[in-house]
């Protein structure tokens, strides 16, 4: 019985993984939601609406780093439309530039993580790394609602 | 029969004469106001340059210096493709040889020094609200920027939009030429915010729907609309549940400064450029804009095509 449960659980995890792999639009939307949640926490700490927490602050930048590594792999040719994607056609017109933007985001996030020691250094690092968000959204995202 | 032909020709002539008279730039009175005396204030001119978002369209594309307003950016609108002209102080290729009177006429009346109509892709429908002193200061500030050589190509518009003269009728109907009138019942900061939003900021130009004539219905102003470059949807910025209801003043200031929303998102598309501009104006001005937007009557926004 226990074996069956384990097998079932393993199977379920396996299916979920395959599904996520097979659905890059869903995966990139999830990653961006994670970035948004991290950014919200960061904004609240930077504005003094939430207490500063060094571990949480570093975790924000780690979320960005992971996103920056994973995201460039999630834009295959067959994922231009569907699934409520807000990806702009520009991504596929200039994929190398798009990837460079993520490489910069990752580098900036790593530097921000290393530079963050207290609230003041966090504020500066957070303001700097989040400039990447708008810079990318300007060209590569088209909101439809 | 002869009489019928004569009547038809007569009416045609009358209509043609009427068209010529009614579409004349002379019919537009906006921008013919007297120029205020006094030395221009360059710091205020800089604020107007950034509040007005001049660089968003007029900065030379594909280079980082946003203070080189050499023009050339293509705007792919539903009416055709507009190419933003050079507005640097180059004496031959741009506005270097203009007088202040000519600049004021362009900004508030949408009429060029040669007496031609500008297309309202240049948002004089909002700039007409600007105070003449602010236009004077803006002109002085632009003249401190680098002169960029080269004229920009003409617009690429299909008939009938290619007939510039036709804009005269549109202006007669829709360009009221009224400057901003402060509301004495409201605070100074509210009035400042209203002025910046409705005048130089020209926020409604993108954040509103338009009817078939390209006019914004007053009752749906600021409720969001299709991106004028046909790239998705521009959001509702009235305090409705489909807009910015629940946002605090500091939330609005934040989005105008860093681009970050209270939900951890970061605004993109054309707004990214607007944020870069708004970040350059005094914080008190951003707070004033926030106060005004949050005071707007809530409008239900329509969703864009999914």
Best of B235, B268, B277, B283 to substitute, by most chain A Cβ atoms within 10 angstroms, is B268
| Residues in chain B whose Cβ is within 8 Å of chain A | 227, 231-233, 235, 250, 254, 258-260, 262-270, 272-273, 275, 303-306
What are the chain B neighbours of A88 within 8 Å (beta carbons)?
231
| Closest by CA position to B123, among listed B104, B138, B110 | B110
Task: Encode burial over B152-167: b for 16+ CB neighbours within 10 A, e otherwise.
Answer: beebebeeebeebeeb
Comparing A1-15, A99-113, B10-24, B66-80, the range with the smallest average pLDDT is A1-15
Distance CA A52, CA A18 (A): 38
Residue range A21-72, pLDDT digits in tens: 579 999 999 999 999 999 999 999 999 999 999 999 999 999 999 999 999 9
Residue A54: which CATH number? 1.20.120.10
What are the chain B neighbours of A41 within 8 Å (beta carbons)?
264
Residue A29 domain-assigned (yes or no): yes
Phi and psi, residue B280, nearest 5°: -90, -10
Q: Do B268 and A40 touch (CB under 8 A)?
A: no
Among B227, B264, B272, beta carbon nearest to A137: B272
Q: Smallest CA–CA separation between B64 and chain A, in Å? A: 13
Q: What is the DSSP code string of chain B? A: -HHHHHHHHHHHHHHHHHHHHHT-GGG--TT-SPPPPS---HHHHHHHHHHTTHHHHHSPTTSS-TT------EEEETTEEEEPPP-S--TTTSGGG--HHHHHHHHHH-B-TTS-BPPTTS-HHHHTTS-HHHHHHHHHHHTTSPP---PPPPPB--TTTT-GGGHHHHHHHH---PPP---TTS-HHHHHHHHHHHTTT-GGGTSS---TTS---GGGTTS-EE-TTSSSEEPP-SSSTTTTTT--HHHHHHHHHT-B-TTS-B--HHHHHHHHHHTTS-HHHHHHHHHHHHHSPP-PPPP---
Q: What is the pLDDT of residue A12?
A: 54
Phi and psi, residue B200, nearest 5°: -55, -40
Q: Which domain holds residue A26?
A: 2-140
- pLDDT confidence of B290, banded at 50, 70, 90? very high
Please name every residue paired with B260 in a beta bridge, in sequence order, or none if there are none: B266
Q: Do B265 and A136 touch (CB under 8 A)?
A: no
Peptide bond into A73 cis (omega under 30): no
- pLDDT confidence of A3, banded at 50, 70, 90? low
Distance CA A38, CA A21 (A): 23
Residue A48 domain-assigned (yes or no): yes
Measure Cα distances from B302 to B83, B252, B305 in Å. 30, 21, 10
Residue A123 domain-assigned (yes or no): yes
Distance CA A144, CA B226 (A): 9
Q: Do B264 and A41 touch (CB under 8 A)?
A: yes
- pLDDT confidence of B305, banded at 50, 70, 90? very low
Closest-CA residue in chain A for B235? A145
Q: What is the DSSP code string of chain A? A: -HHHHHHHHHHHHHHHHHHHHH-HHHHHHHHHHHHHHHHHHHHHHHTTSS---HHHHHHHHHHHHHHHHHGGGG--GGGSSSTT--B-THHHHTHHHHHHHHHHHHHHHHHHHHH-SSHHHHHHHHHHHTHHHHHHHHHHB----
pTM (predicted TM-score): 0.92
Averaged pLDDT of chain A: 90
Closest-CA residue in chain B for A131? B258
- CB atoms inside a 10 Å sphere around CB A15: 10
Q: Do A137 and B269 touch (CB under 8 A)?
A: yes
The pLDDT of residue B41 is above 80: yes
Q: Smallest CA–CA separation between B226 and chain A, in Å? A: 9
Q: Smallest CA–CA separation between A70 and chain B, in Å? A: 19
Best of B76, B226, B260, B305 to substitute, by most chain A Cβ atoms within 10 angstroms, is B260
Q: Do B235 and A143 touch (CB under 8 A)?
A: yes
Nearest-Å Rg of the Cα atoms of chain A is: 18
Tell me how many domains chain A contains.
Answer: 1
What are the chain B neighbours of A36 within 8 Å (beta carbons)?
263-265
Residue range B89-146, pLDDT digits in tens: 999 999 999 999 999 999 999 999 999 999 999 999 999 999 999 999 999 999 999 9
Q: What is the pLDDT of residue B306?
A: 34
Q: Do B267 and A136 touch (CB under 8 A)?
A: no
Residue A145 domain-assigned (yes or no): no
Among A36, A135, A142, beta carbon nearest to B231: A142
Burial of B293 by CB count in 10 Å (0-12 exposed, 13-18 middle, 19+ buried)? buried
With contact defined as beta carbons under 8 Å apart, do A31 and A16 qualify?
Answer: no
Q: Do B232 and A41 touch (CB under 8 A)?
A: no
Residue A118 domain-assigned (yes or no): yes
Q: Smallest CA–CA separation between A4 and chain B, in Å? A: 42
Distance CA A103, CA A118 (A): 26
Size of interface A-B (CB pairs under 8 A): 74
Q: Do A41 and B305 touch (CB under 8 A)?
A: no
Q: Do A130 and B254 touch (CB under 8 A)?
A: no
Residue A65 domain-assigned (yes or no): yes
The pLDDT of residue A2 is above 70: no
């Amino acid at each position: 019985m226990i074996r069956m449960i384990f097998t079932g659980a393993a199977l379920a995890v396996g299916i979920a993984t395959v599904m996520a792999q097979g659905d890059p639009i869903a995966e990139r939307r999830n990653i961006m939601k994670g970035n948004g949640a991290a950014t919200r926490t960061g904004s609240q700490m930077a504005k003094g609406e939430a207490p500063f927490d060094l571990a949480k602050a570093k975790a924000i930048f780690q979320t960005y780093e992971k996103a920056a590594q994973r995201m460039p792999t999630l834009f295959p040719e067959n994922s231009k439309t569907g699934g409520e994607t807000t990806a702009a056609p520009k991504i596929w017109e200039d994929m190398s530039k798009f990837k460079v933007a993520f490489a910069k985001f990752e580098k900036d996030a790593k530097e921000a993580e290393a530079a963050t020691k207290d609230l003041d250094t966090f504020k500066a690092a957070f303001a700097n790394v989040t400039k990447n968000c708008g810079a990318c959204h300007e060209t590569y995202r088209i909101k439809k609602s | 029969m002869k009489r019928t032909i004569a009547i038809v020709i007569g009416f045609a002539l009358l209509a043609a004469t009427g068209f010529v008279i009614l579409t004349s730039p002379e019919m537009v009175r906006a921008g013919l106001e007297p120029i205020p005396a006094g030395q221009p204030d360059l710091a205020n001119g800089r604020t107007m340059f950034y509040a007005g978002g001049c660089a968003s369209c007029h900065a030379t594309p594909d280079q980082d210096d946003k203070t080189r307003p050499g023009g050339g950016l293509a705007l792919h609108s539903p009416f055709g493709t507009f190419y933003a002209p050079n507005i640097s102080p180059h004496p031959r290729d741009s506005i270097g040889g203009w007088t202040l009177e000519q600049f004021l006429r362009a900004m508030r009346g949408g009429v060029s020094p040669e007496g031609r109509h500008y297309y309202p892709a240049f948002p004089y429908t909002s700039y007409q609200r600007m105070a003449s002193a602010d236009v004077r200061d803006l002109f002085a500030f632009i003249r401190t920027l680098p002169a960029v050589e080269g004229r920009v190509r003409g617009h690429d518009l299909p008939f009938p939009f290619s007939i510039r003269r036709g804009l005269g009728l549109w202006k007669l109907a829709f360009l009221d030429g009224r400057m901003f009138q402060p509301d004495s019942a409201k605070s100074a900061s509210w009035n400042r915010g209203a002025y910046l939003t409705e005048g130089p900021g020209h926020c409604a130009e993108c954040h509103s729907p338009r009817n078939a004539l390209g006019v914004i219905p007053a009752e749906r102003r600021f409720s969001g609309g299709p991106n004028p470059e046909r790239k998705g949807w521009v959001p509702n910025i009235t305090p409705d549940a489909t807009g910015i209801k629940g946002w605090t003043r500091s939330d609005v200031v934040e989005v105008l400064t860093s681009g970050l929303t209270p939900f951890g998102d970061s605004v993109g598309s054309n707004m990214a450029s607007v944020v870069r501009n708004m970040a350059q104006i005094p914080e008190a001005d951003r707070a004033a804009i926030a106060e005004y937007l949050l005071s707007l009557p809530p409008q239900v926004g329509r969703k864009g095509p999914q």
